[in-house]
Structure 1
Amino acid sequence: MDKDSLAVIETLNRALAESGLSQAAFATALGTSASRFSTYRTGSTKPTAQFFLRAGRIARALHAAREYRIMTAPATATAIREAHDEEWAWRMLLQGRDHLRLLLRRRDGSEAAWEAAPGTTGHPGFDTLLAVLTAHEFRTAGEEPPGWSKVEALADPWVPEHPFLDRDEIIEQTPDYLARVNIFVPARDLVTA
């Protein structure tokens, strides 16, 4: 194997280790399959230059986020999936969203940690909501949203129960960007202190 191919393999292996994710999770974060990523790591398939650079950039951002205890999209999805109840899942979602806002304000490339595609939350509504909130925050900051955040509307409306509002009030108070994907959550429930 030539020196350049060996350097690519070594760099991808280092990126995987730096990401702190399993091979399958890092492959998902990069938008590919674990088996495809494995072929890049063995040298049997050569990644594109774009993929190669993206892997390094996202791995560095994931590493930095972990060091500073900043939630990423994969970490947020995991926290939602592991939540012991729906209220805690909402807290994790909003905490992750707030961490994304922090990274976007820094304007130093650290938002690349949120370019990493998450695994599933285990709930189609939360999967879509995480994607749509991510896209909304990137657009609000004047940045291009990550590819994984471009999702289709849910087939059926998701209107989570609310302690104070009835269904019609929830729908009426939902921001347009959520209503377009068939998710209905009052805007005030998305505000954090």
Structure 2
Amino acid sequence: MDKDSQTVVDQLGRAVAESGLSQSAFAAALGTSASRFSTYRSGKTKPTAQFFLRARRISRALHMAHEHRIMTAPATARAIRDANDDEWAWRMLLQGRDHLRLLLRRNDGSEAAWEAAPGTTGHAGFDVLLAVLTAHEFEAAGQEPPEWTAVEPLPEPWIPEHPFLDRAEVIEQTSDYLARANVFVPARDLVTA
């Protein structure tokens, strides 16, 4: 293997380690398959320069987020999946969204941690909601949303149980960007201090 190819292989190995994710999770976060990423790591296939630079940028951002205890999309999805009840899942969703807002306000490249595609939350409604909220925050900050946020609307409306609003009130109080995804959550329920 020539020196440049070996450098790419070595740098991709460092990117995996720096990301704090397994190789397959890092591959998924980059939007590629574990087997395809493995061919890059072995040197059998050469990644594009764009893919290589993206891997380095996202791994650094994931590393910094982890060091500063900032939630990322993969960490938020994992926290929702591991939640013991719906209330905790909602808290994790909103905490992750608030961490994204913080990173977007910094505008120093650390928001790249949210370009990493998350695994599933274990619930189709939360998967779509996480994607739609993330896209909304990037757009509000004047930035292009990550590719993984381009999701299809749910096939059936998801209207989570509400403690004091009936279904019609929930639908009426849902923002348009959520309703287009067939997710119905009152706007005020997404407000945090």
TM bracket, shorter-chain basis: over 0.9
Cα shift at 1:94: 0.2
Equivalent position SS for 2:174 = coil
Equivalent position SS for 1:122 = coil
Point out 4+ residue stretches in structure 1 off by more than 6 angstroms. none
TM-score (ref. length: structure 2): 1.00
Q: Give the 5 Å matches for 1:180-191.
A: 180-191=180-191
1:124 aligns to what?
Answer: 124
2:28 aligns to what?
Answer: 28
2:105 aligns to what?
Answer: 105
Equivalent position SS for 1:36 = helix
1:174 aligns to what?
Answer: 174
Q: What's the CA shift string for 1:29-78, capped at 9, x where partnerless?
A: 00001111111000011101110000000000000000000000000000
CA distance in 1, matches of 2:165, 2:24: 41
Cα shift at 1:174: 0.1
1:18 partner amino acid: E
Equivalent position SS for 1:71 = coil
CA distance in 2, matches of 1:157, 1:176: 13
Q: Give the 5 Å matches for 1:33-182.
A: 33-182=33-182
CA distance in 2, matches of 1:103, 1:165: 33
Equivalent position SS for 2:142 = coil
CA distance in 1, matches of 2:166, 2:75: 32
1:114 partner amino acid: W
CA distance in 1, matches of 2:45, 2:85: 43
2:175 partner amino acid: P
Cα shift at 1:82: 0.3
CA distance in 2, matches of 1:36, 1:79: 27
Cα shift at 1:3: 0.5
Equivalent position SS for 2:113 = helix
CA distance in 2, matches of 1:109, 1:122: 29
Cα shift at 1:128: 0.3
Cα shift at 1:26: 0.3
2:71 partner amino acid: M
Corresponding pairs, count: 193
1:157 partner amino acid: P
CA distance in 1, matches of 2:180, 2:62: 30
CA distance in 2, matches of 1:54, 1:188: 36
Cα shift at 1:181: 0.5
Percent of aligned pairs sharing the same letter: 80
